Homo-oligomer: A and B are copies of this chain.
Amino acid sequence: MTSLDVQSAAVVDDRDDHLDDDYALNPAFVEKVVDAADRGDGLHLRELLEDLHPADVADLMGFLTSEHRAMVVLWLPPDVLAETLPELDDGIREEVLERVPAGRLAEALQELDSDDAAAVVEDLEDDQRRIVLDAMPEQERAAIESSLSYGEETAGRLMQREVMAAPQFWNVGDTIDHLRQQGEDLPELFFDIYVIDPGYRPVGAVPVSRLLRSRRDVALTDIMEAVTEIDVDLDQEEVAYAFEKYHLISAPVVDPGGRLVGQITVDDIVNIIQEENREDILALAGVSDQGRDANVLSVVRSRAPWLLVNLFTALLAASVISLFEDQIATLVALAVLMPIVASMGGNAGTQALAVAVRSLAMRELNRNNATRIVMREVMVGILNGTGFAVLLGIVVGFWFGVPMLAVVIGMAMIVNLTLAALAGVLVPLTLDRFGRDPAVASPVFVTTVTDVFGFFTFLGLATLILL
Interface residues of A (CB under 8 A from B): 1-5, 7-12, 21-25, 27, 30-31, 53, 55-56, 59, 62-63, 164, 176, 179-180, 183, 186-187, 189-191, 204, 207-215, 225-229, 231, 234-235, 238, 241-249, 266-267, 269-271, 273-274, 277-278, 280-282, 284-287, 289, 292, 296-297, 299-300, 303-304, 306-308, 310-311, 313-315, 317-318, 321-322, 325, 328-329, 332-340, 342-344, 347-348, 350-351, 353-355, 357-359, 362-369, 373, 376, 379-380, 383-384, 387-388, 391-392, 395, 447, 451, 455
- Copies of the protein in its oligomer: 2
Would you call A207 and B281 a contact (CB within 8 A)? Answer: no
A385's nearest neighbour on chain B, judged by CB, is: B307
The smallest C-beta distance from A376 to any residue of chain B, in angstroms, reads: 6
In the complex, which residues of chain B have a beta carbon less than 8 angstroms from the beta carbon of A280? Answer: 277, 281
Cβ B1 vs Cβ A247 within 8 A: yes
Complex Cα–Cα for A179 and B212 (A): 7
In the bound assembly, the distance between CA atoms of A25 and B242 in angstroms comes to 11
How far is A22 from B55 in the complex, measured between Cα atoms in Å? 31
Cβ B270 vs Cβ A180 within 8 A: no
Is the Cβ of B23 less than 8 Å from the Cβ of A241? Answer: yes
* CB–CB A213/B5 < 8 A: no
Is the pair B368, A339 in contact by a Cβ cutoff of 8 Å? no
- CA A381 – CA B350 in complex, angstroms? 24
Contact of A285 among B190, B208, B229, B354 (CB under 8 A): B354
In the complex, the answer to whether B229 meets A12 with C-beta atoms within 8 Å is yes
The interface residues of chain B lying within 8 Å CB-to-CB of A300 are 380, 383-384, 387
Chain B residue nearest in CB terms to A3: B247
In the complex, what residues of B have CB within 8 A of residue A55's CB?
A: 245-247
Contact A395 B315, beta carbon cutoff 8 Å: yes
Q: Is the CB of B285 within 8 A of A353?
A: yes
Among A213, A226, A278, A313, find the residue whose CB has the most chain B CB atoms closer than 10 A.
Answer: A226
Q: Are B244 and A271 in contact (CB under 8 A)?
A: yes
Give chain B nearest CB distance to A157 CB in angstroms.
Answer: 17
Residues of B within 8 A of A1 (CB): 247
Inter-chain contacts of A318 with B (CB < 8 A) = 336-337, 339-340
Interface-centre pick from A59, A325, A354 (highest chain B CB count, 10 A): A354
Residues of B within 8 A of A208 (CB): 191, 208-209, 212
Are the CB atoms of B358 and A278 closer together than 8 Å?
A: yes
The complex places the Cα of A379 from the Cα of B329 at a distance, in Å, of 38
Expressed in whole angstroms, the Cα–Cα distance for A287 and B352 within the complex equals 8
B287→A354 contact, CB < 8 A: yes
Q: Return the 7 tightest CB-CB contacts between A and B, nearest first.
A: A285-B354, A335-B335, A287-B351, A24-B363, A247-B267, A277-B277, A22-B238
A111 to B231, CA, bound (A): 32
A226 touches B314 (CB 8 A): no
A–B pairs, 14, beta carbons within 8 Å: A7-B225, A11-B226, A179-B212, A189-B207, A189-B210, A273-B277, A286-B350, A292-B364, A299-B380, A306-B347, A321-B335, A322-B336, A328-B328, A329-B332
Nearest to A350 among chain B residues (CB) is B285
Given contacts A328-B335, A340-B318, A364-B62, contact A270 B267 (CB under 8 A): no
Nearest CB of B to A312, in Å: 10
Interface pair A281/B247, CB less than 8 Å apart: no
Q: 14 new A-B pairs (CB below 8 Å) besides A63-B368, A273-B273, A339-B455?
A: A3-B247, A12-B229, A23-B242, A27-B366, A55-B246, A62-B369, A248-B267, A249-B266, A284-B284, A285-B354, A297-B383, A307-B384, A328-B335, A335-B338
Q: A325 touching B332 by the CB < 8 A rule? A: yes
Q: Taking the nearest CB of chain B, how far is it from the CB of A353, in angstroms?
A: 7
Which residues on the B side are within 8 Å of A10 (C-beta)? 226
Residue from the list B31, B289, B376 in contact with A358, Cβ < 8 A: B289
A303–B348 touching, CB < 8 Å: yes
